[in-house]
Amino acid sequence: MPLLGWGLSWLFDLGFPILEWFWPSNLIVQFIVGTLFGIVLGVIASWLTERSFMNSVKNRYHTLLSSLKFTWFDVFFISICAGIGEEILFRFALQSLIGVWLAALIFVVIHGYLNPKDWRISIYGCFMIVASAGFGYLARELGMLSAMVAHTAVDVYLLAQLKLEDKKPTFDSFEND
């Protein structure tokens, strides 16, 4: 993803102010706001997927992701890579060319959260469009680092929740002892 972002940056002469992203004048503000925004999005996303009408979607993604047996290192590494790489592509490159909302829509479509055959995942997708646009406004108003941190925080929150759910004792786990 970041390579595609860099390619678009080069192709459309957007520049690539990497030093500004990772050492901005408002570094602490971007970290705090990005972290809080990401956690709030994680809480809302979690609440939404806990609704009874979302059980089929939650079960499908839980089964898929649980089978990968993420370690805590994996949770943080994947989240950081997605937070940096996807924000370079969607917020820096695409958003600069097509705007906040269209970049947010493309982000959600590529993630598969809009599906005319599955209204449940599409409801989650609508939430994710707004969340993704929020990343876009963070990047535009505060700086790219805030969007990267927010994206990382929401991913850590959701993947950690999944990992912790896998560790909850179940009737089956007591039966096997």
pTM of the model: 0.85
Residue 93: CB partners within 8 Å, gap ≥ 6? Answer: 4, 5, 6, 8, 9, 12, 14
At 115, list the tokens: 């599906």
How far apart, in Å, are the Cα atoms of 62 and each of 29, 49, 56, 145, 161? 34, 11, 10, 29, 10
Query: How much is the pLDDT for 172?
Result: 47
Residue tagged 């941190």 (tokens) = 149
Q: Which two tokens stand for residue 122?
A: 């599409």
Question: What's residue 177's pLDDT?
Answer: 44
At 62 the pLDDT is: 86
Determine the residue type at 5.
G
Q: Tell me, what DSSP letter sits at residue 12? A: T
Predicted confidence at residue 63, as pLDDT, reads: 86
**Residue 53 contacts residue 47 (beta carbons within 8 Å):** no
- For the chain, which residues score pLDDT lower than 50? 170-177
Q: What is the reported pLDDT for 3?
A: 72
Sign of the four-CA dihedral 2, 111, 152, 165? negative
| Cβ proximity of 75 and 160 under 8 Å | yes
38-77 burial, b for 16+ CB within 10 Å, e for fewer?
bebbbeebeebbeeeebeebbeebeeeeeeeebeeeebbe
Question: Tokens for 32?
Answer: 């705090």
Predicted confidence (pLDDT) per residue in 111-155, tens digit = 999 999 999 999 999 999 999 999 999 999 999 999 999 999 999
